[in-house]
Structure 1
Amino acid sequence: MLNETLNWRLQYKPEAIRWEDIAQEAETGKIYRANYCDKLGRPVLVMRPGLQNTNSPTGQIKYLVYCIENAIMNMARNQEQMVWLVDFQGWTMASISVKVTKETANILQEHYPERLGIGILYNPPKIFESFWTMVKPFLEPKTHKKMKFVYSDDPKSMTVVEEIFDLNVLDVAFGGRSAAGFNYKAYAQQMKEEDVKRLNYVRSGCSSPYSYPSSSLSESQREAMDLDRDSNASNEGRLSAVEEQVQQAS
């Protein structure tokens, strides 16, 4: 799996994705990194599939990868996982395809293993059960166990939210007390600034192109990674290209 992930990163180049590449995908706030963490300090990706605004599976997956990379970059040093908070308001069977869901599961499980701490499926409609039946086979048992169904009218299931989040910072849409919501203009500016921050991250210790990407690997993957000196040298050119791309965007 490690070699496959490294090869995928070399080909897909997730660290080179810039805000300008995926800005259209972000317009509705269908995925964004929240301005708060959970009680364990894990960054939170808010997902609202009911706000799907494009028909491009390629663009949708690219934006998801961008958001995952951004969440990882913003993790505390002692943290390796994130939380997915999925709001199903406005969701229909047309909101997301089985193809995109399958690809999402593949990327998460194959290239970001153990990065998901927990996934909260908040108020999924009855019809979602049919969709879940179709996509459940794509999920590994350990991933499936991390997905928690939570309903606002079920006090017992809401305890999951209360145990994980500080309700004072959690969005009211999820039973919290914050009305901050999503502001596209402000978020776009934040992401552009963090693209520059990512370049600085790459520059900070780049004996190989994996100095930044390796942070996207779990601890067990990093321990297993043993790149020889020749491999490092051969990839320095790609690192320079990534730096130049991000530099131009800034």
Structure 2
Amino acid sequence: MESVVSPEPSQKTPSDSSSKQVTTIEELKDSTDAELTKIRLMRAFVEARDPSSKEVDDLMIRRFLRARNLDVEKASAMFLKYLKWKRSIMPNGYISPSEIAEDIAQEKVFVQGLDKKGRPIVVAFAAKHFQSKNGADGFKRIILPSDPMQFAFQVLLLNDNKYFFCMMPPGQEKFLSIADIEGWGYANSDLRGYLNALSTLQDCYPERLGKMFIVHAPYLFMRIWKMIYPFIDDNTKKKIVFVENKKLKSTLLEEIEESQLPDIYGGQMPLVPIQDS
């Protein structure tokens, strides 16, 4: 599995062979014959170059292939780079809650409910993010690629942890995000950090973002967005929607049932801090 939060080093982590996930035929049922062939080719290629590749399932291999239009060579290079990144930034294979206690307490991100396609909903508040004291590297460790916290993304993929439970339903690979920019100002303008987070999302977690709604975006943010936009790949650009304030609820309801929509956007679900969900 991809990097996850783990309670303590003594606990089993997804890097343990005992926690390795096995991809079933049912999970790969929407794969084309070409994809199934390329999955086998890519697996043989990457396992020969990095034995730790044996610990990932076919769904991850497929995500990297799809991100590179089934080009085995390009997808393999991308995947091997991801494994190297993971080892360098998380040598133990996980991020401990104690490392990100401050970010958890600030309640930047909420993960709860499912959209109409069964994708978990991530609500992120950009005005609660300030440039990391640890610089760009610190930001890449704790920030969610594409807006506030990588921690929330890891909870989505969680497998074995006594503090949190897995919020990614079986067979689901993507999530929907609501990026709330209300109150965002110069103090939150961490362009370098945003670009690093964007790079992490695109290069290390491909084919995970299903859709992103950007709401309450002020004029100042749009100026920063113009600088970020050229660095977003075309597939990701198609998934991002800026929502007008007057059409906020109606637009969100196109993807989310009212019972699953956060109450701050006119729905029925109260927001619950991620550590309490």
TM-score band w.r.t. shorter chain? 0.5 to 0.7
- In structure 2, the partner of 1:41 is 118
> Offset at 1:189?
5.5
Per-residue deviation at 1:162?
A: 0.8
Per the TM alignment, residue 164 of structure 1 is displaced from its structure 2 partner at its CA by 0.9
Q: How does 1:117-128 map to 2 (within 5 A)?
A: 117-128=210-221
Query: Which of structure 1's runs of 4+ aligned residues deviate more than 4 A?
Result: none
Displacement of 1:79 after TM fit? 0.7
Equivalences for residues 188-227 of structure 1 within 5 A: 188=275
Residue 7 of structure 1 pairs with residue 89 of structure 2: no
Distance in 2 of aligned mates of 1:83 and 1:71: 11
1:62 to 141, 151, 168: 141
1:36–1:128 CA distance, 2 compared to 1 (3 A)? same
Please, which runs of 5 or more residues in structure 2 have no aligned partner?
A: 1-77, 143-148, 159-166
Deviation by residue 1:11-30 (Cα, 9 ceiling, x = unmatched): 22284101111010122211
User: What do residues 87-123 of structure 1 show as CA deviations (whole Å, max 9, x unaligned)?
Assistant: 1121113213110110111000000001000011011
Q: How many residues align?
A: 183
Mind listing any 5+ residue stretches in structure 1 that lack a counterpart? 191-250
Q: Is the 8 A contact 2:130 2:189 kept in 1?
A: no
Deviations 1:26-79 (A, max 9, x none): 22211232x211111111221101112564344443222322121123312211
The one-character-per-residue Cα deviations of 1:172-212 (angstroms, maximum 9, x if unpaired) are 2223233x2244xxx4365xxxxxxxxxxxxxxxxxxxxxx
Identify which of 246, 257, 261 aligns with 1:170: 261
Residues in 2 aligned to 1:77 and 1:108: alpha-carbon distance in whole angstroms: 21
Q: Deviations over 1:129-173 (max 9, x none)?
A: 2111111111111111111001231x3x65431111111232122
SS in 2 for 1:164: coil
Residues 22, 59 of structure 1: 8 Å contact kept: no
Aligned to 1:29: 107
For the residues of structure 2 that align with 1:42 and 1:24, how far apart are their CA atoms?
27
Q: Kindly provide the amino acid, as one letter, of the partner of residue 132 in structure 1.
A: W
Higher helix share: 1
1:149-188 aligned within 5 A: 149-153=242-246, 155=247, 158-178=249-269, 180-183=270-273, 187-188=274-275
Question: Is it true that 1:85 corresponds to 2:178 in the alignment?
Answer: yes
Letter aligned with residue 125 of structure 1: P
TM-score (norm. length: structure 2) = 0.61
Counterpart amino acid of residue 188 in structure 1: Q
2:96 match? 18
Corresponding position: 1:72 with 2:151: no
3-state SS of 1:94 partner: helix
Aligned CA-pair RMSD? 2.0
